[in-house]
Amino acid sequence: MIAQSYNFLPALPEIFMLGMICLVLVIDLFLSERSRVVTYLLSQAALAGAFGLTLSLYGIQPVQTFNGMFINDVMGTLLKLAIYIATFMVFLYSRVYLRDRQMFSGEFFVLGLSAVLGMMVMISAHHFITIYLGLELLSLSLYAMVAMQRDSVAASEAAMKYFVLGAMASAMLLYGMSMIYGATGSLDLGHISIAVQSGRPDNLVLIFGLVFVMVGVAFKLGAVPFHMWLPDVYHGAPTAVTLFVSSAPKIAAFAMLMRLLVDGLSGLFAQWHDILVVLAFLSMAIGNVVAIAQSNIKRMLAYSGISHMGFLMLGVIAGSSAGYAASMFYALVYVLMGLGGFGMVILLSRAGYEAERLDDFRGLNERNPRYAALMLFFMFSMAGVPPFLGFWAKLTVIQALIASGQMWLAIAAVVFSVIGAFYYLRIVKLIYFDKPETTAPIVADVDLRWLLGANGLAVLAIGMFPQPLLALCKVALGAV
């Protein structure tokens, strides 16, 4: 590892993104409503520029800077690239939706880019302070985005719940960090790891600190029992915001999990392993069972997301490089599937109407066979049906569990996956075997149609050839 105190080059993508946020904010002040597309294009250009800069800094050897507070490594590079792609897709999916609801404003894109900057800082954080700064920038941006539809009571209520519970989780995380600092005398993840493995710290204080830190991580992942905010926020927020909240921040939450537990507290593996087992089991159980009872597709996908976060944690529970790579693979796959699922909800929505009920998908095959096939791709992938991408994501984490000797948890994961298949297949049944409630044609702009098609084909094509993406994850986590 190369350590440098004042090298700004590894943080160049973050500096560029901050500059673009300021530029978009200033330019947007002078634009009329008709010219608002300039803000949209500038925001997409910011993501494309950050993508290019991040890719140019790719290197196998990790580089630390700012006195060890910031790290540029392969895992961070790949996760950042995934976040840029996911956010680019969110902005593209959301453009027409926002325009039809008079929400196509600079605030949405500025807050979205600010959240991306927070995620970038979280991913490259190698210090408790850096992690917390990135987390708060992300969280504050998301709170504001959820509340953007000011005339919606549901959105305001969702934002308030998100803010209050998020503030409590942040306070617990900060308290846990302070206890770990008291036990180890450092906030640097590398120094904490050395102190923990040496056996010198006060064990009781350290364990209490670990528990509080785990609360903050579980909240960001939406894991049971810290999931209370997630269904209400997904349901109450505008679908464009729900699409964003459900995608890129999950990648940042995975990075936070890896930085804190694997990079910093690996010496306490036995303790956080047991906590993660409970969180993963409860998330898979409650997420899949409660999702069956939902009649609103946004709430159903929220509980589905809770169960998927349980599966994601299984790879970390395995405690091996292959397991960590499997979890990273799962995070990327889940985001791709979730983007498609919520993209279909946006497609069927129109001005003055939200396609949020499961019944809105009745007879979709009669209305448009192409869109019906795409929704089938996304649902089969989430259910883990081969050859779609979701099957390989679940298989890799289960294989990692079996390799680590935790057979009972692998069996539980298979059982809950079968239970979860019910509510995904129910949507497929509505699409192909029920009569439509309306025969009105589905109208969509060209860019939305092409993106949905590409998203669906990616779920199928990468599912048929998953090895390149899985190999990248293994390289990032040192599993090869």
Q: Is 185 left (phi over 0), alpha (psi -120 to 50) or beta?
A: left
Distance of alpha carbon 3 from alpha carbon 68, whole angstroms = 7
Q: What pLDDT, on the 0 to 100 scale, is given for residue 418?
A: 93
Distance of alpha carbon 433 from alpha carbon 373, whole angstroms = 13
Distance of alpha carbon 279 from alpha carbon 263, whole angstroms = 20
Query: Which range marks the domain in which residue 195 is found?
Result: 2-476
Phi and psi at residue 437, to the nearest 5°: -75, -25
Instruction: Tell me the pLDDT of the chain (480 aa) as tens digits.
Output: 555 556 888 899 999 999 999 999 999 989 888 888 999 999 999 999 999 999 998 877 888 888 889 999 999 999 999 999 999 999 999 998 888 888 888 899 999 999 999 999 999 999 999 999 999 999 999 999 999 888 888 889 999 999 999 999 999 999 999 999 998 888 999 899 888 888 766 678 888 999 999 998 999 888 988 888 899 999 999 999 999 999 999 999 999 999 999 988 888 888 899 999 999 999 999 999 999 999 899 999 999 999 999 999 999 999 889 999 999 999 999 999 999 999 999 988 876 678 888 888 898 898 889 999 999 999 999 999 988 999 999 999 999 999 998 999 999 999 999 999 999 999 999 999 988 877 777 888 888 889 999 999 999 999 999 999 999 999 988 765
Query: By C-alpha distance, which of 242, 444, 429 is closest to 342?
Result: 242
Q: State the total domains in the chain.
A: 1
Distance of alpha carbon 267 from alpha carbon 270, whole angstroms = 8
Distance of alpha carbon 85 from alpha carbon 82, whole angstroms = 5
Count the Cβ atoms, other than its own, within 10 Å of residue 215.
20
Q: Which two tokens stand for residue 309?
A: 């976060």
Q: What pLDDT, on the 0 to 100 scale, is given for residue 76?
A: 92
Residue pair 304/420 in contact by the 8 Å Cβ criterion: yes
| Largest pairwise CA distance in the chain | 70
Residue pair 94/346 in contact by the 8 Å Cβ criterion: yes
Count the Cβ atoms, other than its own, within 10 Å of residue 418.
12
Distance of alpha carbon 137 from alpha carbon 133, whole angstroms = 6
